[in-house]
A = this chain, B = another copy of it.
Amino acid sequence: MAASQKPASQKKVIISCALTGSIHTPTMSDALPVTPDEIVEQGVGAAEAGAAILHLHARDPLTGQPTPDPAVFMQFLPRLKQSTDAVLNITTGGSLNMTVQERLAAPLQASPEMCSLNMGSMNFGIFPLADRYKNWKHEWEEPYLRGTDDFIFRNTFRDIAYILEHLGEGCGTRFEFECYDVGHLYTLAHFLDRKLVKPPLFVQTIFGILGGIGAEERNLVFMRETADRLFGGDYAWSVLAAGRHQIPFTTMAAVMGGNVRVGLEDSLYLAKGRLARNSAEQVAKIRRILEELSLEVASPAEARAMLALKGADQVAF
C-alpha cells in the first residue's frame, strides 16, 4: 500500500536457455548436446517450451570439446534461425585455451542480435567437478576440468572495449552482460560512464562458480540491489545459477521481478537426483513456476522489444 510497492502488473519474464556451454563434458550427461544436429534439436525444443533467447556455444562434433570454429557455428545457426523465432545469442566467452581473437571469430562472422560478454577477468574453478567421475568418455575431459585450477578467464578492460567496439558498434550486436561478482557490475558501470554501452542493459548475474560470488540467496538480492543503484531503472535483470541452484535461484529472480536463464550449460539436472533429458524440460519447469506466480512469459518478439535488438533479419547467417 505504501509508495514504494511495485505495481501489481509486472513486465513479462524473458526465459533464456543456454544449450550446451563449455563447463559440462559429455561424460556428465548423455543429454548434453554436442553435434549441430543435437544443438538444433534441443534449441528448437527449448524455444517451443518457452525460451525467447537461445545462448549458444559450439563443440567438436566428434569429441564434444568446446570449439571456437566459425564453421561449426555455421552448421547450426542458419538451421536454428529457420526453425525458430528465438533470439540467437552467441558466446564471446568460449572456453579454456581460447584466445580472445578465437573467441570472437564466430560472433564477428555471424553478426548476431546478441552475444554474451563477460565483465572481468577471474579464476574460473570447475576442477572440483572432476572428482565426481571415474570413467571418462573422452581423454580431454579430465585434464580440461582439472586444469581450471590454473586457468584465468581473461576479459581485460581493453578486451571488453575491443568487443564493444567491433561487435557492438561494428555489427549492431547487443549484449548479455555476464556478471560473476559485484566488481563486474562496477566494471559495467565504468563502461556506461564511458558511453561504450548503452541502455537498456541486459545484466546476467551468475551465482555459484568458484572464483565468483557464491550461490546464496542473499548474494542474489545484493547483486540486484547493486545493479539497481548503478543502472537505475533502465536495465533488464536476469539470473542464472550453477547446478542444483538453477531452479531455486531463477524462481527467486522471478519473484523479484527478474528474468531467468536455464539450460544444460548451467545445470544438468531437472530435479534433485534426476538428470534432465534436455534443456526444454528445464524451460518447461521454470515456466510452470512462473505461471503459478501469475507471471507471463515473454515471446521472442517481446524480448526483442525489451532489449532493443536489431532483429533476426539483420544477422549474417
The answer to whether residues A229 and B121 also contact, given A158-B149, A186-B213 and a CB cut-off of 8 A, is no
Complex Cα distance A192/B2, Å? 9
A215 nearest CB neighbor, chain B only: B5
Of A12-20, A24-32, A245-253, the segment with at least 4 beta carbons within 8 Å of chain B is A245-253
B4 in contact with A216 (CB, 8 Å): yes
Interface string of A189-203 (1 = CB under 8 A from B): 110110000000000
B8 in contact with A214 (CB, 8 Å): no
Q: Is A225 an interface residue (CB 8 A)?
A: yes
Contact pick for A183, options B187, B192, B212, B247, CB 8 Å: B212
B121 in contact with A152 (CB, 8 Å): yes
A210 in contact with B187 (CB, 8 Å): yes
Interface positions, chain A 112-157, Cβ under 8 Å from B, are 120-123, 125, 127-128, 148-152, 154-157
Q: Is A45 an interface residue (CB 8 A)?
A: no
Of A33-41, A75-83, A84-92, A289-297, the segment with at least 4 beta carbons within 8 Å of chain B is A289-297
Q: Is A180 an interface residue (CB 8 A)?
A: yes
Most buried by B among A5, A226, A285: A5
A229 cross-chain contacts in B, Cβ below 8 A: 4, 216
Interface string of A267-294 (1 = CB under 8 A from B): 0000110000000000001001100111
Contact pick for A294, options B155, B192, B213, B272, CB 8 Å: B272
The answer to whether residues A1 and B128 also contact, given A182-B219, A186-B213, A222-B222 and a CB cut-off of 8 A, is yes
A183 cross-chain contacts in B, Cβ below 8 A: 122, 180-181, 211-214
Q: Is A3 an interface residue (CB 8 A)?
A: yes
A2 cross-chain contacts in B, Cβ below 8 A: 186-187, 189-190, 193, 210, 214, 230
* A92, chain B: closest CB distance, angstroms: 16
Q: Is A169 an interface residue (CB 8 A)?
A: no
Complex Cα distance A215/B7, Å? 12
Complex Cα distance A217/B237, Å? 15
* A132, chain B: closest CB distance, angstroms: 11
Complex Cα distance A157/B150, Å? 6
A6 cross-chain contacts in B, Cβ below 8 A: 216
A252 cross-chain contacts in B, Cβ below 8 A: 251-252, 255-256
Q: Can you list 11 contacts pairing A with B, beta carbon distance less than 8 Å?
A: A1-B125, A1-B210, A2-B189, A2-B210, A8-B272, A121-B122, A121-B211, A122-B122, A125-B157, A157-B211, A186-B214
